[in-house]
Structure formats: structure tokens, C-alpha cells
Amino acid sequence: MVDDEPDIRATVKEILEDEGYSVSVAESAAAAREARRQQRPDVVLLDIWMPGVDGISLLREWGERGGLPGPVIMMSGHGTIETAVEATRLGAWDFVEKPISLAKLLLTIERALEAGRLRRENEGLKSRLPAPAEPIGSSVAMQSLRAQLDKLATHDTGVLIQGEAGTGKEMLARWLHERSARRSGPFVTVAPGSITSEHVAKALFGTEDGGSVEYGLIEQAKGGTLFLDEVAELDQELQQRLSSVLDRRAVLRCGGSEAIATDVRVIAATAQDLEALVREGRFREELYYQLKVVPLAVPPLRERAEDIPELLRYHADFFAARDKLPYRNFPVAAQNRLRHYAWPGNLRELRNLVQRLLILGSSPDVALDEVENALGSLGPTVPAPEAPRAERGDFGVDFSLPLREAREQFERAYLLHQLAAAGGSVGKLAKAVGMERTHLYRKLKDLGVDAKATARDEAS
């Protein structure tokens, strides 16, 4: 609450705290700037007429310097229609007249909080596949996974979800969040591989420059859950800074001089072997153990083939309802073929396949030849017998090298071979080797493989 009148500040603060709110007060624009720097408020009550910088000018300043800190409710004892219109144009959420009606103030704050929550949900959940009531599958592996999730949902501890690309790690993190005590708070996803390296720190920790403050994703997750998708993509410096945040429960913004307390549950996920990366010095040991308070292993789809029929029915129902597609049944022959498919893309590939078959098909039942055509050349149904050495190729790995360097030699040769087979297409390469495209681009860059040059060579 920002107001230059001490009696009003004290009275409103006392009333709101009696209602269960945590309230910070500021007597001027300067004090309000400092309060905003120290924490990200859910709602701001801002008086218009104050000595020095008035509320409208402060509202405009916030809008120009990193955005408004939250829904802003303007207050005034002698406002005009023009003033209210100007405040609304600058982003104010509502307008309350003095003397303040307690009933109206409480209702306005309640609605502002709800509006802020809905905005965060809309920003975070657009175009996402909603999490089912619980992870799907009756296999022993899924029964064990559900039992672990049920236990973790009642705790506030950090979780490290490990599993291959496409196994639904973010869906599990959302499921945990929705059943935790933090479910009314935001669920914020951080995907380092999708953010340019020079912007990751600012996006994650926020920035501070004089009076300008931009809240990072960690602060935006206040009171909720921060999901770190493929945490292995963080570089060493960011790993160290994140470790400090988890240790101190406070975040230091880029350009800031004082750490800001934070309240967030961290759920991390990776498709890589973090323990091996720690041994190789590519992932900080302290961060590894901070994230791995409780490890959760997600089985790949090929290891729970008995769940395929249930997954096919669920996704056929989902796409029929969401996209208004005609529902199609998967007969036993189609189910059996898909049960014996290797699923290199896991759940993500299955969802894509079901959606494609519903779009392209016209009959009530999915025919076996449709399944074969949809699968195409994505991968073998069962592991192929080992090829003779001459067919496998001589990769020229120097066995005198340390393990890490020898592995990089092999990986580079392997990816060059697969990239050539894919005609220089990174998209086809990602499917062939079963890797996320963003992770694959990073791997190719680390190994010095120029995909564009390979594509030109193939074309010529």
C-alpha cells in the first residue's frame, strides 16, 4: 500500500492483516520503489495524490520500466473521470474512492488477486496438453510411479525427475504441483535450452538497474512451483548462482546488490545422466545434491508396453474432444503393432501419432496399414541384430584417451554419420537418435558439427 497519510496506512494495514493478508506500506514514491525492489507484490494499492511524485506518474514509470508489479488499484479522495481514465490507460486494474469502504476494498482486492492468478495460468497453460487426473497406465512400473507421486504430493521438498525425452516429465511436475499445498500458486517453467545463453540469467534471476526492476522466473514462481526443464543445459556460472538461491532461499537479480528472499518449490527434470556429468566436472556437485533430494525415475514407453491400449484410448478421447475430431477406435491388430513398436519419442510421439491418425482417417476403426504408414521409418519394432563390424563402420576412436574425450570422439562420428543419413536435416536426425531438437543443437555445437555444411555437402 502506497499512501502519504499515516493514519490511512496504519488503518488499512491493520484491517488487511486481520483478513489474513501480508501487507507492506510505503509513504512515498521513493519508498514504493524500494518496496517493489525487495519483493514482488500480488496487488498494489496506490494513492494518486502524494507529495513529490504522484501515483499516476509512478504507475507510468512502472509500466515503462519492466512492467507493473501486479494488479494496481488506484485510490483517491478527490479524483476525476479524466484521472480514472488516465490510470486505466496506464494499466491500473481498478479505482477505489476515499473515504474507503471496507467491504468494497476487500472485494476489489479479492477480485484483483483472482485476476492476477488467472492471467498467470493463461500465460503458462496456453496450448498445453492438460495433465490427466493421474498418470495413465496399469503396468507395475506406473503403479510404482503413482505411489511415489502420492507421497511426494504431501511434501514440499525438491524433486529431480529423470527420464528419456518425451516421457512426460513436465506433466508429472504439474501433477505434483496441482496436488500440493502450493496448488493455488503459479507453476512456472524454465527451459534453458530454449533461451539464448546471454538471456538465461536475466530470465531466471531478473534484473535491477536503478529504479527499473524486472522480476525473473524464480520470483514469478513465488508461493508456487518452479519447474527446471532439462537442468543440465545450465552453464557452470548459472549452476553456481542457482545453487546459491537454493541454499540461501534468496535470489540476487542481475545488476542487484541485495538478495531478495524467495519462497518456491523447485522440481527439476533431465534426460541426461547428471551423476556422470558431475564426475566429468560438467555439472556442479552441490547443485546435483540440492536438486536430488528425492529422485524420481520415469520409465520409457517401451518398458511399459501393456499401457499402450489405455494411452491410445485416452488420447483418442482427448483429441476428439479438444479438436472436434471424429473419435476412432484402435482394434487389437493396431494395438498389437503399437505395443511392439520401440517408441523412441515416447509419450510425445504417441500423442502425435494418435492426432495424425484421427485427422487423416475416415473410418471408425484405425486399420493396420494406416499405422504402418504413420510409423514410416521412425524406428525398428524390436532391437535389430548387431551388424557385422564392416557395416557398423570404423569410428577411429582412440582408446588411449580419457573416457570423456573418447566418448566425444565417438559421439561426433556417430552424429556425423546419422546426419549424413538424414540428408543434413536436424529434424530427421532428432527423430533417428531420439533426442530433443534443442538439446541436439547444443550437442552438435559442443562437438563442432556444422549441420548446415553437412546439408550443403549432401545436396552437392
Q: Rounded mean pLDDT of 12-35?
A: 90
Reply yes or no on domain 140-297 having CATH 3.40.50.300: yes
What pLDDT digit, counting tens, does each position of 134-176 carry?
A: 789 999 999 999 999 999 998 999 999 999 999 999 999 999 9
Peptide bond into 99 cis (omega under 30): yes
Is 382's pLDDT higher than 50? no
Categorize the per-residue pLDDT at 338 as very low, low, confident or very high, splitting at 50, 70 and 90: very high
Is 266's pLDDT higher than 80? yes
What pLDDT digit, counting tens, does each position of 285-303 carry?
A: 999 999 999 999 999 999 9
Among the residue ranges 15-29, 359-373, 442-456, the one predicted with the least confidence is 442-456
Q: Which fold has domain 301-375?
A: Helicase, Ruva Protein; domain 3 (1.10.8)
Would strands 212-214 and 207-209 be described as parallel, antiparallel, or unpaired? antiparallel
Strand extents, DSSP E, 283-372: 294-297
Is 354's pLDDT higher than 90? yes
The two domains 140-297 and 301-375 share their CATH topology (first three levels equal): no
Is 402's pLDDT higher than 80? no
Is 458's pLDDT higher than 70? no
Q: Rounded mean pLDDT of 278-282?
A: 93
Is 81's pLDDT higher than 90? no
Run of H or E including 47: strand 44-47
Is 269's pLDDT higher than 90? yes
Q: Decide: 159 and 293 in contact? Cβ < 8 Å.
A: yes
Is 132's pLDDT higher than 60? no
Q: Give the pLDDT of residue 370.
A: 92
**Alpha carbons 277 and 232: distance in angstroms, whole number:** 8
Share of the chain above pLDDT 70, in %: 85
Note the CATH architecture for domain 6-125: 3-Layer(aba) Sandwich (3.40)
Q: Decide: 76 and 95 in contact? Cβ < 8 Å.
A: yes
Place of cell 543445459: 233
Q: Rounded mean pLDDT of 54-80?
A: 80
**Alpha carbons 35 and 228: distance in angstroms, whole number:** 28
Q: Which fold has domain 396-459?
A: Arc Repressor Mutant, subunit A (1.10.10)
Nearest to 301 by CA among 416, 163, 209, 432: 163
Run of H or E including 96: strand 94-97
Buried b (16+ CB within 10 A) or exposed e, 181-199: ebeebbbbbbbbbebeeee
Q: Give the pLDDT of residue 191.
A: 86
Categorize the per-residue pLDDT at 90 as very low, low, confident or very high, splitting at 50, 70 and 90: confident
Domain residue limits, the chain: 6-125, 140-297, 301-375, 396-459
Categorize the per-residue pLDDT at 130 as very low, low, confident or very high, splitting at 50, 70 and 90: low
Is 385's pLDDT higher than 50? no
Q: Give the pLDDT of residue 416.
A: 82
Q: Rounded mean pLDDT of 206-224?
A: 86
**Alpha carbons 41 and 44: distance in angstroms, whole number:** 7
**CB-count burial class (<10 Å; 0-12, 13-18, 19+) for 63:** middle
Q: Rounded mean pLDDT of 419-434?
A: 79
Is 51's pLDDT higher than 90? no
What pLDDT digit, counting tens, does each position of 220-264 carry?
A: 898 999 999 999 989 899 999 999 999 999 999 998 888 889 999
Among the residue ranges 71-80, 101-110, 183-192, 255-264, the one predicted with the least confidence is 71-80
Q: Give the pLDDT of residue 389.
A: 37
